[in-house]
Amino acid sequence: MAYNPQVVEANIVSDNTKNGLFEIVAVLKDRTKCRIGYERTASGEEHATHINRLFTAPCPVCRKDFLCSCMNNFMPTIAEQALQLVKTKA
Ligand SMILES: [Zn+2]
């Protein structure tokens, strides 16, 4: 069964206006929490650069409760949803 991440909550946790780097912590529907790093380019585009699962709950994909890289496969989806959520709140 393919994992289908759904972001239900997202908050900007750091924002460096000097270098354009910012981070969002996203909460998924299954309680998975991820910290996503983004960079803002000079033209105002935002790109996700990395994603880390926080160890608040086991990984929804492999069930490990420690470091794994499963979320990397879903970074585009999670990063996009998190960004949209943050923007609709602003
Ligand atoms: Zn995993």
Distance 11 CA to ligand 1 centre (A): 23
Distance 38 CA to ligand 1 centre (A): 21
72: helix, strand or coil: helix
What is the residue whose two structure tokens read 């979320």?
71
Distance 68 CA to ligand 1 centre (A): 5
Distance 87 CA to ligand 1 centre (A): 28
For 21-51, the pLDDT digits (tens) are 999 999 999 999 999 999 999 898 999 999 9
Task: Return the closest-CA partner of residue 66 out of 46, 52, 80, 51.
Answer: 52
Distance 44 CA to ligand 1 centre (A): 32
pTM to 2 decimal places? 0.92
48 vs 37: CA distance, rounded Å? 6
